[in-house]
């Protein structure tokens, strides 16, 4: 079981509020064989205001490509893009490690529209 780290130091609310965390629907999921660690290439629809964004996500342990398409995910949409091999990752998909260190995606448990912001 991975060691759970203690809480990070306190921050003011404005620091949290500066992160733009939105929900989106995975439209495509493809293998990403060029990645150093096993990963998928995703396109995620965040609705009309934000649009469709690309991401690389290390979620191959618990998810198949087929089950990701149509799934709601949460992501930080206001980090600068990051080049990961041949992929320009535009958003950071959020998840938590399980007891074996495999990433479990963060997602709402009820239907919300694409682009809804975490508040």
58 occurs within a structural domain: yes
116 occurs within a structural domain: no
40 occurs within a structural domain: yes
Inter-residue contact 86 to 34 (CB < 8 Å)? yes
83 occurs within a structural domain: yes
Residue 54 CB-density burial (10 A; 0-12 exposed, 13-18 middle, 19+ buried): middle
Residue 36's domain is classified under what CATH number? 2.40.50.140
With a CB cutoff of 8 Å and minimum separation 6, the contacts of 38 are 58, 60, 61
Residue 68 DSSP class: H
Where would I find the H helices in the chain? 13-17, 65-68
80 occurs within a structural domain: yes
Q: Supply the pTM of this predicted model.
A: 0.94
Predicted confidence at residue 1, as pLDDT, reads 64
Name the domain count of the chain: 1
pLDDT of residue 18 exceeding 90: yes
8 occurs within a structural domain: no
Predicted confidence at residue 105, as pLDDT, reads 98
Query: 35-83 pLDDT, tens per residue?
Result: 999 999 999 999 999 999 999 999 999 999 999 999 999 999 999 999 9
117 occurs within a structural domain: no
3-state helix, strand, coil in the chain (%, to 5): 10, 35, 55
Instruction: Supply the range of the domain harboring residue 71.
Output: 24-105
């Amino acid at each position: 079981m991975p060691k759970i780290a203690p809480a990070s130091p306190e921050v003011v609310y404005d620091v949290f509020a500066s992160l733009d965390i939105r929900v989106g629907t995975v439209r495509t999921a493809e293998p990403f064989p060029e990645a150093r660690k096993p990963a998928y290439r995703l396109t995620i629809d965040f609705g009309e205001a934000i649009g469709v964004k690309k991401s690389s996500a290390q979620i191959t342990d618990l998810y198949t490509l087929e089950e990701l398409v149509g799934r709601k995910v949460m992501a930080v949409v206001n980090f600068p893009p990051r080049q990961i091999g041949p992929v320009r990752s535009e958003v950071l998909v959020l998840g938590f490690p399980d007891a074996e260190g495999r990433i479990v995606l963060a997602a709402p448990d009820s239907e919300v529209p694409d682009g809804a912001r975490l508040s």
